[in-house]
Structure 1
Amino acid sequence: MSAASDPLGHPPLERYLTLPGFTPTVMTMVLGYRLRALREKADISPRSASQALNCSEAKISRLERGESPIRERDIELMLRLYGAQHELEAACELARRSKEAGWWEQYGSAILPKWFDKFVGLQEGSKVIRTFEVQLVPGLLQTEEYAYAVAQGGFLATPEEVREKVELRLRRQELLRRSHAPHLWAVVDWPVLQRPVGGPEVMRRQIQHLIAMSQLSNIKIQVLPPGCVAIGSPVTLLRFEEYGLPDVVYLEHPTGANYLDKPEETSRYRFMLDQLSVMALSPTQTRKELRRIARDLG
């Protein structure tokens, strides 16, 4: 059987190897979800799969969720068990590429904690980024001097660590201007714009930067005006579209983050983001309000 006649109706795995922005993190997820689909199609339980691989059911779950890299030997055993040996060559190539280091992995854990490493890799490979921020300007939209003020005001960090944190943030922003850039849709709560991070001049230039970025075709920025009641924590939803992956919701807290990918979970946050966008000022009204705030800041 050829890869083109996939019984699940999925595109051949070879296709994913040529997609732009296909990061090791996304490759690991694509491979994991494909293996789960093949297992379910073959009507094989996680327990039976774990017995064939001589491992725990928890490991099967981690592999299928893209939370762990997959050894080629395990891929061979699983595909043989699932009757999908025609996928072996492409699956092994995906596995090899998924072990390559992303550009962001050059930063140490003090700059890029493991729980945030995954988010950067997913964001790099996403097609749509929807975010709601309640404390700070979204990282992808921060100016260098605003980012410095944020980095200096957080946990204790050396000057070198502050410099590297800002460097990482600015490099992450490059994805918004590349070819095949993702679409960013950001809703920002009103108090974010009233909080003079770095001082009035830094904040004024940050507001002007938001105005400029909002005019790019792949970026939509909305401000949630005073009086609107919203959740008190930031949320980011990543969509991958052509990769055939589910949406992923990223919820960050002071010491880590949660990643949600079950449809019943992500649909709630997608609905919430939809409601926030309806309550927020339109992109045109938002630019008008941003200009007013910039004038008030001098």
Structure 2
Amino acid sequence: MQAVPSDQRPHPPLGSYLSLPGFSPTALSMALGSRLRALRIAAGVSAREAAAEIGCSEAKISRLERGQSPPHVGDVSCLMRRYGAVAELETACELARKANEPGWWEDFGPAVPPWFDKFLGLQEAAELIRTYEVQLVPGLLQTEEYARAVTVSGVPLATPQEVSARVGLRKRRQELLQRSVSPTLWAVVDWPVLHRPLGSAGLMRRQLEHLIEMSSSPSIKLQVLPPDCLAIGTPVTLLRFGLPDLPDVVYLEHPTGANYIDKPEDTAQYRSMLDHLSMTALSPAQTVSELKKTVRSIR
């Protein structure tokens, strides 16, 4: 069944966002910004008029409505009144206050690059995380020793303290899979990921055994592309949220940064690509069998 586009679904009460399973100032900024845009349009107020209301540029209104910067409570209050949305004014201001609170990842300081901050916030609030990996085991499924080997190999100039911070960050990220209301993780990995040596044979065996164990969770779906499949050459992560003010977001990481894509016509293409990969890949049961076979072959 095809999902109803987010802009055609009814908007839930703003208070719904205060009870998201994972606290995420990033998601709250996006949800509030999306709602402000919808209210502005419904009230027949132009972006220029909204900007004049709070004494800013149209560019700031655009950033606010796209959730690209934390909203100021005073600005939100003025705009909600201008749009005639006084019934939800207090809730909107509470969302604005929470959107300015620090996320847990800020405790990790330099271990979180500026371009990665948004992804962590979105991941915390996601209902579904679909990911495709071509080089490594997905971060949410890595063992600590595998994550350490990845960090040492990928950031050769990192100090031992920096390595530990990065590994600690990855372990903290994985806690979202242990929540009572956890997101669904649907991961497809390319065949070489299982066979690419990283560290010792024992390290790889334990990583694959961990994948087998994690695959038993009802909220985790793991698939492997067979070796005769033509795969795309770049990792992709698509995040979907349980409330309609938050559009699907595609995350594309590269060595020096990341791109975030949220236009429906663009995310639909990536979703179609991920659908094709999942239909081409081994089923979850076949994937577990292949993992067990690979574990037995490691010497």
**TM norm structure 1:** 0.94
1:40 positional shift: 1.3
1:191 positional shift: 1.2
CA distance in 1, matches of 2:58, 2:281: 45
Amino acid at match of 1:151: T
The residue number in structure 2 matching 1:136 is 136
Alignment partner of 2:28: what SS?
Answer: helix
Contact 2:133 2:190 in 1 (8 A): yes
9-18 vs 147-156, which deviates more? 9-18
Amino acid at match of 1:104: W
Where do 1:166-205 residues align within 5 Å? Answer: 166-205=167-206
- The answer as to 2:19 corresponding to 1:18 is yes
Unaligned runs of 5+ in 1: 1-7
The residue number in structure 2 matching 1:105 is 106
Q: Relative contact order (alpha carbons < 8 A, sep ≥ 6): 1 or 2 greater?
A: 2
Alignment partner of 1:107: what SS?
Answer: helix
For these two proteins, the number of residue pairs brought into alignment is: 290
1:51 positional shift: 2.4
Contact 2:11 2:244 in 1 (8 A): no
Where do 1:64-103 residues align within 5 Å? Answer: 64-103=65-104
CA distance in 1, matches of 2:37, 2:231: 36
The residue number in structure 2 matching 1:5 is none
Alignment partner of 1:173: what SS?
Answer: helix
Contact 1:16 1:22 in 2 (8 A): no
195-204 vs 213-222, which deviates more? 195-204
The residue number in structure 1 matching 2:64 is 63
Contact 2:34 2:67 in 1 (8 A): yes
Where do 1:224-239 residues align within 5 Å? Answer: 224-239=225-240
Amino acid at match of 2:141: L
CA distance in 2, matches of 1:279, 1:53: 52
CA distance in 1, matches of 2:10, 2:191: 46
1:255 positional shift: 0.5
Identity score, percent: 63
**TM norm structure 2:** 0.94
Amino acid at match of 1:97: K
Taking a change above 3 Å as real, the CA distance of residues 103 and 22 of structure 1, as seen in their structure-2 partners, is closer
The CA RMSD over aligned residues, in Å, is 1.3
| Segments of 4+ moved more than 3 angstroms | none
Taking a change above 3 Å as real, the CA distance of residues 208 and 235 of structure 1, as seen in their structure-2 partners, is same
CA distance in 1, matches of 2:24, 2:219: 20
